[in-house]
Amino acid sequence: MPRLLIKRFFRSFKENFARHFAQILLVFAVVTVIVSLERTAFTIIDGRQNNKDFERIEDGQFTTLFPIPDDEISKLCEEYNVQIQENFGVDVQSENKIYRIFRQRENIDVQVFFEGTLPDSDYQAVIEQNYAYKYNISCGDSIDIGDNTYTVCGIASLPDYVHSTEHMNDICATADRFLWVIVTDSEFEKYYCDNRYTPEYTYAYRLSSKDDLVNFSHAVYDMKIDDSHLINADESLREYISSMQNGENGSMPNVLQFIEREDNRRMDIELKYAFIYKSAGFSVGILLIAMLAFIFAVVTRNEIHNDHNVIGSLYALGVSKRTIISFYIFPGVIVSFLGGIIGLTVGFLPEITDISMRAFHGVNSFPYYELSNPLVLYLYSLVMPPIVNFAVNYIVLNRSLSHSALSLIRGTYESKKVFNIKLKTNNFIRRFKLRHLIEERGSIITFVCVLSSLIILMLGLSTNAMIKNNVSSTIENTNYKYLCTLKYPAKDLATSGEKIFIKNVKSEYGENNIIFSLVGIPENSKFYSAKPDNDTDSAVAGKALASKFNLKKGSKLTFCEGVAEKEFSVIITDIVDSNSNMELYMHIDCVREMFDCSSSFYNTVLFSDEPDIDDSLIYSKTKTEDILNNISLMKRAVTPFMWFSYISSILIFIAALYLIVSTMIDSTSIGISLIHVLGYDHFEAHRMYISPISYSVIAALIFAIPVSKIISSGLCRYVFSKFATGMFFELPIEDYVIVFLSALAIFFFILLLLLQKVKRIDTSLALKCRE
Amino acid sequence: MFLTITNLQKYYGQADNKQLVLNNISATVDEGNICVIMGPSGSGKSTLLHCIGGLERFDSGSICVDSVELSNLSDKKLAAYRRNALGFVFQFYNLIPNLTVAENVDVCKYLAPSPLDRDELLSFLVLEDKKNCFPNTLSGGEQQRCAIARALIKKPKLLLCDEPTGALDSKTSYEILSLIEKVNKEYGTTILIVTHNSAIKPMAHKIITIKDGAVSESYMNSERISACALENI
């Protein structure tokens, strides 16, 4: 019997080449995409695991206002059995670019080279890989940083700068204008001691046990402020230190930030996405293959309906249902297997994996790991499609074959339930069309197919909408021109700007923590429309934050800062328009009170024009364009995903609709033939049988478009759960109209192709089946 | 007796709408005989054949084929009975379109523990030249011969033919009937032919006529003539 099945498959393949080819193409497309994505995910996960002894990634980091004395560091290390490394960085601005200068890492967050080595001399530097890729820089080329010229001796990545952003809260890596550079220790000292630059005193730590974290963080927070180790303190800093030592600036601690590795937005982003791709990819792949299997099964079921008398005769001869079902399932299983083999082969091509790997590397900076070849992907590609196909086909076809031999021979097996709906129209053709539409089972299958492909399309459109909406909300709602974060808030800063207090806080979002800005604003703020009460229990949420956390008026939001155990809860009193940044607004005095700062404390100044404060006081200056640039970079990061969704959805839509409409036409062929026998012409037959198919597709589109939008928005929320940005997925009405009209155009094109088939139906078919 | 039918009753429909289609039918057929069941359309002859073939259940009475009582058999056992003891030939040949003649026959070859030699059978049915042809390239007579080969390959004890010549012209019909007779002689297969074509009567060992669901006539044909001679009558 297996020999017969194989022979039958090859003949069936030849006879229905277009159909089987479309089926193979669909399975191939799904498997290729899933395999390349999954292989990328496995490569990253395995690569990170294999590299862990070399990279020695931090458990967290903290940033201080002043460097901690060496003896304090030793004491901390000894007492809490922790390893601490200075990852000090000095920002040098040159030609609109920011170069963050580091010395080489030895124990924690060790650099991994793509090419080259560490610098041997003070004229050499190692640069970040994404920047090198973007500007086509390789070893031996030179870069200018300020007045100095360096020869690039290495291109590398750093585990704490995977998401290589200037500020930790930046949404997207900014390889266009920011890069880190590693120079020799002696060269680093020059920058470190230069009064023009203010170093960022960041320490990376590795704990022996996670249990020590809380005590260790308390010890770090409790350290006394001491400026004795400041090498390059300018006048404003000295003034600030003096005010703090005199208690004028409240009890502001030395620690600016203390975070764990999982809260560090610069770290592990590629790993987090790899895990999402790994789990979501597998499930989406199985769903897509099951959907395809369902379409194949519907086509096969139609074949069974056509062969009912043959099947009945074979039953009468004693052939078992198992044998018959294997006859019909086998082609689908083989087609899935072939699609799987080709998909696996193509998906494993380094060039294909490189496309998805490049999508990761385009926005993240991490080593090029050796490509993984996980066994599970071979099983997934070669075993899953045939098994899913078998299972789905078995479920769908089993019923069609579970009839008695006699009923199949007679063709009386189909006891289709007739909906006795009273139709008001007296026009026969119109009544017939309506009845046909109501009775057409294909309508439900069409809806399922249209819905599935539209969900994939809507994922891309929703992503695009999110970016567009974030751009427009940023343009509309960013009322300041400059947002300047101060290095050291001076006591009496004479400025025309609006003084605010911004604090990064975090809140749980599913399994992750999302960091957002708690913005302390004065009453009657010039730049924010929020009017928060002077009350530590209430706050106003920006639209972006509200959309992320599904906040409404009266909702409760709980958040905390750093690893501190202290939690804050506020009731949302209002939701206001905001830019794409996630912001929670409170009265500035309340924020000061919550974080034990003096009544005059602030750390940020907003300007509607050029800042009127000394540049040396400014730690970072954010322009509206920077926010927009951030969003456009995010768009670049998700563009491959959007194109994948557009192309795959269109392919699935075309193939699925072709198969379904073709099946619907096949199932009506005897009816059409009979209508011709009764004297109806082609045009009337077309109106009676083909128009209902068009109506069912139109109806499927009308229902599927909004349903797919709702589902895809939910999926997008999950996919972008780690992005700290507004979740605005609303599409303009024109987009829905375009989707509807495009889908309709594709359908009518398919119908035009298939009408050739209808034209070939003549009276002979009905006459042949007269028995 | 190879086949014994006793007081067979069969109804269609339920409750108030019950219709008696087989009314107290009793008949016997000897092993190795050809029995023709005749009657006008709607008389119940096909229903009787289906009951004997285990394709339909009956309401009362009994059918005993080669000492197997069908009324007691479960669906599974009925399927096994069809598999082991029966061959079916239908009016419309019902061959699998994308399998060749030889492969269509092979579909049933796997069902029997010791099937006939396929090539010998095809040669016997004058199909050896057509064994690699697909059904749509064959004439009606050739397709029916292929259907007979498919039914015979598993060496059935009882061959049930439902209007085997119904879709054929008279010349081809006689060819098929000759072949059925040849099968009967060569393999000793008991054959039941349901037909409304009275011209077949002379080739049968026994003729049963059914009218309105009941046996109106049943007799042994003492003046039986060969099927190949029928054409000349």
Q: What is the pLDDT of residues A79-101, one digit of tens each?
A: 888 999 999 999 888 877 889 99
d(CA B157, CA B2): 9
Query: Considering chain A, what percentage of its residues have pLDDT values greater than 90?
Result: 22
- Here the tokens at position B124 are 């016997």
d(CA A557, CA A60): 26
Tell me whether residues A4 and B107 touch, CB distance under 8 A: yes
Please say whether the beta carbons of B54 and B73 come within 8 A: yes
Instruction: Give the one of B84, B98, B151 whose C-beta lies nearest to A11's C-beta.
Output: B98
Q: Which residues of A309-348 are buried (b: 16+ CB within 10 A; e: fewer)?
A: bbbbbbbbbbbebebbbbbbbbbbbbbbbbbbbbbbebbb
Provide DSSP, A11-29.
Answer: HHHHHTHHHHHHHHHHHHH
Collect all residues of chain B within an 8 Å Cβ-Cβ radius of residue A316.
Answer: 53, 55, 82, 86, 88, 90
Tell me whether residues A310 and B97 touch, CB distance under 8 A: yes
Tell me whether residues B108 and A406 touch, CB distance under 8 A: no
Query: A323 CA to chain B: closest CA distance, Å?
Result: 9
Tell me whether residues B55 and A4 touch, CB distance under 8 A: no
d(CA A200, CA B129): 92
Tell me whether residues B99 and A8 touch, CB distance under 8 A: yes
Q: Does A443 have pLDDT greater than 80?
A: no
pLDDT in tens, A669-724: 877 877 777 677 777 777 778 888 888 888 889 999 999 999 888 888 877 776 66
- Most confident among A7-11, A581-585, A626-630 (mean pLDDT): A581-585
Question: Residue A227 to residues A66, A237, A548, A620: CA-CA distances in angstroms?
Answer: 6, 9, 41, 22
d(CA B209, CA B50): 16
Q: In DSSP terms, which residues pair with A516 in a beta bridge?
A: A505
Cβ–Cβ contacts within 10 Å for residue B171, how many?
Answer: 9
Inter-chain Cβ pairs, chain A and chain B, closer than 8 A: 76
SS3 (DSSP) at A142: strand
Q: Does A614 have pLDDT greater than 80?
A: no
Q: What is the ipTM of this complex?
A: 0.78
What's residue A489's pLDDT?
A: 61
What's residue A707's pLDDT?
A: 93
d(CA A171, CA A580): 10
Location of structure tokens 């028995």: A771
Amino acid occupying residue B60: S
Q: In DSSP terms, which residues pair with A559 in a beta bridge?
A: A568
Spell out where B52-179 has E strands.
60-65, 68-69, 86-89, 158-162
Query: B229 CA to chain A: closest CA distance, Å?
Result: 31
In the DSSP assignment, the letter for residue A492 is S
Question: Residue A212 to residues A109, A414, A603, A724: CA-CA distances in angstroms?
Answer: 20, 71, 31, 29
Chain centre to alpha carbon of residue A6: 43
What's residue A564's pLDDT?
A: 58
Please say whether the beta carbons of A381 and A35 come within 8 A: yes
Cβ–Cβ contacts within 10 Å for residue B225, how many?
Answer: 13
Location of structure tokens 């975090």: A506
Minimum CA–CA partner of A312 in chain B: B94
* Across B84-103, average pLDDT: 84
d(CA A76, CA A74): 5
Query: A398 CA to chain B: closest CA distance, Å?
Result: 17
What's residue A367's pLDDT?
A: 87
Instruction: Give the one of B50, B88, B98 whose C-beta lies nearest to A12's C-beta.
Output: B98
Spell out where A419-461 has E strands.
none
d(CA A314, CA A379): 36
pLDDT in tens, A642-655: 787 788 788 888 87
